[in-house]
Amino acid sequence: MTTSFSASFVITGARNCPLYRQQDRIVLTDKAVYLPMGKPSCLILVRELTGLLFELLPHAPSGFADQRETVFTCGGCTGLVKFQLAEPDEAEEEEREEAGDVVVSGRLDAISPAELLQVFHMHQKTGKLLFDMEGESARVTFREGALIAARFGELDNQEAIYAILARRQGHFRFVPGLADPQSKARELGDFMMILMEGLKRLDEEEQ
């Protein structure tokens, strides 16, 4: 995506949300989602915001004039969050830039492995996505959103990713940054082709 994009949101309502409160602010860009400072990241909300990126992108030149009154919602868990477009807070955006990336963690019953991989690919993240799935560990390594390595038990690379996609229970965490040797590693292949092949295999197994 070559177009620079940035939209600021303010949470206008939060009911039974375990993480966020009214007046918390969110910034969505074409590269990342910046959630309220000092609070854990919710991948369900990140997924909702990622979908909004393509919906709002055509309206960026107008400053989202026709979308200012729109109320967006996130209700993918036990709570409900409502948020609207807001004017950018320059001081807050500078603080986010200085803070850099943070470790993101969550549960696989809240977001599927396929959706999780797409989030880090779309936002061009660099680092390791680590899984603890009912006592078994796995990892997927990204460089600017590209897949460069994966390991799950005795499985490596694409086969490891295919096995991870089949899991529905467990926890994950994302640790940003790579060691120097990994920064020059070759990509495993086209991200979407690997993902679609994994989902195809999963569908065949479930039939």
Domain boundary among 43, 71, 99: 99
Per-residue pLDDT at 85: 92
CA distance 162 to 114: 10
Number of domains in the chain: 2
- Against a cut of 0.75, is the pTM above it? no
Residue 119's region, left for phi above 0, alpha for psi from -120 to 50, else beta, is: alpha
For the chain, 207 residues long, give each residue's pLDDT as a single digit of tens: 344 678 889 999 998 888 888 988 888 876 677 777 667 677 788 888 888 887 888 888 888 888 888 999 987 677 889 999 987 654 454 444 444 444 567 777 777 888 888 888 888 888 888 888 877 889 999 988 899 999 998 888 989 999 998 888 888 888 888 776 666 778 888 888 888 888 888 887 776
Regarding whether 141 and 164 lie in a shared domain, the answer is yes
Query: Which residues neighbour 188 within 8 Å (Cβ) at sequence distance 6 or greater?
Result: 147, 148, 149, 150, 157, 158, 161, 194
**Is 90 in the same domain as 184?**
no
Expressed as residue numbers, the domain containing 186 is 104-206
The reply to whether 33 and 51 lie within a common domain is yes
Residue identified by tokens 């560990």 is 137
Looking at the structure, do residues 192 and 161 belong to the same domain, yes or no? yes
The answer to whether residues 51 and 138 belong to one domain is: no
